[in-house]
Amino acid sequence: MRARRRRCAPGHPASPVDTAAYQSEAELERALIDQLVAQGYGRLTVHDEAGLVANLRERIEELNGFRFADADWDAFFREHIANGAEGIVEKTRRIQNAPIIDFQMADGTLKNVMLLDRDHIHRNRLQVMNQYEAGEGTHENRYDVTILVNGLPLVHIELKRRGVVLRQAFNQIERYQRESFWSESGLFEYVQIFIISNGTRTKYYSNTTRWQKTNGDRGRKTSASYQFTSWWTDAENRKIMDLAPFAASFLSRGTLLMVLTHYCVFDVSENLLVMRPYQICATERILNRILISESDKKRLGTLDAGGYVWHTTGSGKTLTSFKAAILASRMDGVDKVLFVVDRKDLDYQTMKEYNKFQEGAVNGSTDTKALSRNLESMAADRRICVTTIQKLAVYLSKAERGGEVFSRHVVFIFDECHRSQFGKMHQAITKYFRNYHLFGFTGTPIFAKNAGTGGDPELRTTAQAFGECLHKYTVVNAIDDGNVLPFRVDYVKTFHHADGRPDERVEGIDTNTAWQNPRRIELVSEYILDHFAQKTKRDGAAYQYGSARRNGFNALLACDSIPTAQAYYKKIRELDASRPGPNLKVATIFTFEANGDEADGMLADESMDADAMPAADREFLDAAIGDYNAMFGTSCGTDAKGFDTYYKDVSMRLKGDDGVKKLPENQCLDLLIVVNMFLTGFDAKTLNTLWVDKNLRMHGLIQAFSRTNRILNSVKTYGNIVCFRDLSRQVDEALGLFGDPNAGGIVLLRPYESYFKEYAEKLDELRTEFPLSGFMLLGEKAERAFVILFGQILRLRNILQSFDAYKADDPMGERELQDYQSHYLDLADKYKRQKKAELSSIADDLVFEMELVSQVDINIDYILMLVERLHGGNASDKEISEKIRSSVAASPELRDKADLIEAFLRTVGFDGGEGSQKLMVDAGDTPAARHAYIQGEWKKFVARSMEKEIEEAVSEQNLKPQETRELISETFETGSVPDQGVSVGKIIKPVSRFAKGNPYGAKREAAAAFILAFYNKYRSLTRSYPADLEYDADKPTK
């Protein structure tokens, strides 16, 4: 029997908060515990591991209805609960995917031991404890408040007094993760959800958010930093920030248990996704519609049985629909869940996304025969099926109306279906199926105001097709919550009309000719090439993306027709080829347009069938795919299989992610030229710019713009839109309809003048308060003021750098920026050391903008170029020496390599001694010879240094030599730094995992710390171990 539904409502409206009295951190903690006890939590007053383990045993025995013999409990605890070879990932997998453990008792009997009851959630026992003292870590730590579920710590709460920056609590949990969560028996590695609060502001996030941050994998989108923490809200998307109402809602027993057991997804990439409140609310309302229809059968097959979810593009509709489909398929009475998309390419993308959440959770339908088998099968593993409207239409056209499948209880979930196609599909579903629900997900609903005039007049709006709106989360909500980025829109005028009419109102052949005029295409192409590095931040915005070092972002160019796309492809490649430096990696993709864009703003479909293209277009695409094959070593084509391969490969290289690892920068696309493809339903975190040379409005405008506004890191702060047509009226109309009439102030960035004025004022303040001449910071108060002010300047520079006027206007020179940055990094290092030493400081809550500092980072190629310049006689020793030292001091990437660089400089005779004379002889007397020699010496030096550090660590930590090298090699290959789990355990020589003081845990932590530090030090110097230091030819040097 499948589980009954229980509600998890996000949602009580925020209650008034008493703000009259001062509240210390200790008082805040006591108030929270008293509130949780009043809400039905048990109070546990233990402060050490012995008490924690004893309570765990009692709760597990209580849940399972039997008592362990002491020997059985010891074996169960050591083998399955506190196995020293397991870390956060393994423990999370157990809680989320396998909370029932098969265990053989000493007498031979088998027991199914349950850690968590997912089906009957109120059988789980909740307790709250505080001030737990963790011993045997690298530092002794005392934790604020922990929530235990059946004795296991599954939720941890870190508190700060009111007025302290919330991020300080986030950083403190990072320290616990690094220093002590793994210690003793490692029970705190079971924590699934972290909550941080300063009383006034409260947020939550998953354990893998914290784990990725701690392990330095900054590029993994999954939430590797503070910006991926979430607010809890009520059903109307109003934030519940104060701790007391947050605890009343999120920490109510039913809600918390439902979030832990039903609204988390541990995906195939080993990321724990905790759903956001609007996702949970929408899922609940879908499930409740199904539940109500089970008791009132008359609703089945009517609009009352369904509804639609309006969640803006980029807010995670795929995860919401996945959870809704999974949970609906488990409900009593539901026979089949059918997820329907409107194009073959979205079918592929949806299947790929679903399989990321849970491998094999859904079945795709490659053709109508496969769809027929999936629909007719009652097998448990075929309850969910993904298909397209087109395949479903063909299946229904051939089906007999009286078939058994049509009497089954079927849930249909439609994703962004086009109105013109859905009208016919709606009629077919109502004609054949009898017991159905229709649910739709959309980021841009059709209302009466923006409905077209064609098709069935009773199916023109989203509400007419699906029923009422079940939940709404608009682009304004998403940007306000920080779940997607705002847009910055530029308008570049390309021609003028003598009578002053706006571009979009001029119709006829003359206007079309003007848009496609070769001279205009050339001018726009030149503008794109002139400003490409600026808009995509290629001129210095370096960041780590998984195992790959990325320099800036990539872009789409949206064209009004296939001929225009072809003209841009030819002209951009032609102009780029004549420019110095590496060429952009440019591609185009199109097939044919069955119809033009629809009157209501929907983007017309492009078929995935390249065979139907006119001969001339197919010939052009063949040639473009040939260019692509030569660029990336692929073998795509325009036949059915070859084009499908091309589409998927383009998608992969635009995302920079093959589903397993991040791609090196030289294997990614820089610019993709399209008509309509990739403007809907496509997510690429590294895409930040859309160049627009087509008329967009309503749905199509929001969909296209939203390709650019996915969150990645602190460098990507907005989506860049550059329009070569005046779309200002259309932008205002779309934002008013899909946001609210005042949405522009939230969704769009302020004008350039506003940001520049603020920047200039901050810069004047910096020069006045902290002049470089005799730079001195007296006391922590001055240090704090400098860090805050310079951080504000870095954030403003990050925004201003993509404005065309900024480069000429910037009053801050490169040397001045570098000097201030060096002082800024000195303070970052100082406070980092203080945190490690647990020294208190009034600057504990300072936030250092390290990713923004990295935008103006100096790479190792630049340092080697200075060495070459010295030995080429192009500058004095003193000048070059000062330049190298100041560059290394101002570089967050190179500061930890300063000793390495200094040692190398001595080996190549930088000191002007005998080594220098030898180098002059060995290197030769031409620039090319010197370049090759210096590069070769550097590669050999790095390889020797890596081996030396490994040998020292193996000796000092008593590690297994071969296994250590293999793990380091794997780390460089995958870009994933291991935690203290199974992989690290393999390199440690035998030691009792259960000995007093947990020496195994300490050795595991030390080994993991070495791997992390080694990888961070060398990852920008080599792509592999053993060292392969062939430099990326496309990597620019400063």
pLDDT at residue number 736: 82
Bridge-partner residues for 145, per DSSP?
130, 157
Cβ distance 206 to 173 under 8 Å?
Answer: no
Q: Quick one: pLDDT at residue 37? A: 97
Furthest CA-CA distance within the chain: 96
pLDDT band at 64; cut points 50, 70, 90: very high
Rounded to the nearest integer, the mean pLDDT of the chain is 81
Instruction: Residue 256: name the closest of 125, 101, 81 by CA.
Output: 125
Residues 6+ apart with CB under 8 A from 803: 752, 755, 756
**For 393-452, what is each residue's pLDDT tens digit?**
888 888 877 778 888 999 999 887 655 456 777 788 888 888 999 999 998 888 877 666
| pLDDT the model gives residue 8 | 63
How many angstroms separate the CA atoms of 642 and 660, rounded? Answer: 22
Chain-centroid distance of CA 981 in Å reads 24
Alpha-carbon distance of 982 to 1022, in angstroms, equals 26
Task: Quote the pLDDT of residue 821.
Answer: 84
Domain ranges of the chain: 25-274, 277-473, 487-597+669-749, 753-855, 860-1038
- Strand 719-723 and strand 307-311: the pairing is unpaired
pLDDT tens string 466-499: 999 999 999 889 988 888 899 989 898 776 554 4
What are the E-state strand segments in 282-374? Answer: 307-311, 336-341, 363-364
User: What's this model's pTM, rounded to 2 decimal places?
Assistant: 0.75
Q: Which helix (H) or strand (E) holds 103?
A: strand 100-104
Q: Is the peptide bond before 580 cis (omega within 30 degrees of 0)?
A: no
Instruction: State the pLDDT confidence band at 93, using cuts at 50, 70 and 90.
Output: very high
Nearest one of 329, 299, 344, 312 to 413, comparing CA atoms: 329
User: Helix %, strand %, coil % for the chain, to 5?
Assistant: 50, 15, 35
- Given a cut of 60, whether residue 843 has pLDDT beyond it is no
Cα four-point dihedral sign 930, 933, 937, 938: positive
Answer yes or no: is pLDDT of 919 > 80.
no
Does the pLDDT at position 847 exceed 60? Answer: yes
Q: What does the pLDDT average to over 892-906?
A: 75
User: How confident is the model over 12-30, as pLDDT tens digits?
Assistant: 555 555 554 567 888 999 9
Classify strands 100-104 and 110-114 as parallel, antiparallel or unpaired: antiparallel
Average confidence (pLDDT) over 57-63? 97
Say how far apart CA 701 and CA 201 lie, in whole Å. Answer: 35
Nearest alpha-carbon partner for 857 in 831, 903, 905, 824? 824
Q: Report pLDDT digits (tens) over 713-764.
A: 878 888 999 999 989 888 888 888 887 666 666 777 788 888 899 999 999 9
The class of domain 487-597+669-749 in CATH terms is alpha beta
Residue 707: the pLDDT is 92
Strand order in the sheet with 363-364: 363-364, 384-388, 336-341, 409-415, 435-442, 307-311, 469-473
Cβ neighbours of 434 (radius 10 Å): 13
- The SS3 assignment for 143 reads strand
DSSP string, 258-270: HHHHHSEEE-TTS
Whole-angstrom distance, CA of residue 795 vs CA of residue 807: 16
Domains 277-473 and 487-597+669-749 share a fold: yes
Q: Which of 695, 722, 691 is nearest to 507 (CA)?
A: 695
> Is the CA virtual torsion 656, 658, 661, 664 positive or negative?
negative
Which residues lie closer than 8 Å to 749 by C-beta, 6 or more apart? 486, 487, 488, 718, 755, 799
Which residue from 241, 251, 121, 129 is spatially nearest to 193, judged by alpha carbons?
Answer: 251
State yes or no: pLDDT of 894 exceeds 90: no
> What does R_g of the chain's alpha carbons equal in angstroms?
30
Amino acid type, 682 = F
> What CATH fold (topology level) applies to the domain 277-473?
Rossmann fold (3.40.50)
Model confidence band, residue 870 (pLDDT cutoffs 50, 70, 90): low
Query: Of 3-7, 177-181, 679-683, 1026-1030, where does the model show the most confidence?
Result: 679-683
Using CA atoms, how far residue 535 sits from 171, 204, 601, in Å, is 32, 33, 27
The C-alpha atoms of residue 881 and residue 246 are separated, in whole angstroms, by 56
Q: Rounded to whole angstroms, how far apart are CA atoms 281 and 232? A: 11
* The pairing of beta strand 193-197 with beta strand 202-206: antiparallel
Q: How confident is the model at residue 595 (pLDDT cuts 50, 70, 90)?
A: very low
pLDDT tens-place string over residues 119-157: 999 999 999 999 888 765 455 678 889 999 999 999 999
β-pair type (152-159, 193-197): parallel
CB atoms within 10 A of CB 178: 21
pLDDT, tens digit (0-9, with 9 covering 90-100), for 340-378: 876 655 555 566 666 665 565 556 666 778 788 888 887
Which among 308, 333, 209, 326 has a CA at the least distance from the CA of 263? 326
Residue pair 487/719 in contact (Cβ under 8 Å)? The answer is yes
Q: Is the pLDDT of residue 502 over 60?
A: no
List all residues 6 or more positions away from 291 whose beta carbon is below 8 Å from its beta carbon.
5, 331
Q: What pLDDT was estimated at residue 452?
A: 63
Span 927-942, average pLDDT: 78
Q: pLDDT, tens digit, for every residue of 150-179?
A: 999 999 999 998 888 888 888 878 777 766
pLDDT tens for each residue of 641-666 = 899 899 999 999 999 888 777 888 88
Average pLDDT of 788-805?
86
Enter the CATH code of domain 25-274. Answer: 3.90.1570.50
Give me the DSSP letters along 752-793: HHHHHHHHHHHHHHHHHHS-STT----HHHHHHHHHHHHHHH
The pLDDT value recorded for residue 914 is 47
pLDDT for the residue 565: 96
Token pair recorded at residue 543: 């960041």
Please give the Cα distance from 371 to 382 (Å, whole number).
Answer: 11
Three-class HEC string of 834-891: HHHCCCCCCCCCCCCCHHHHHHHCCCHHHHHHHHHHHHCCCCCHHHHHHHHHHHHHCC
CATH of domain 753-855: 1.20.58.2040
Contact by Cβ (8 Å): 982, 86: yes
For residue 339, the model assigns a pLDDT of 86
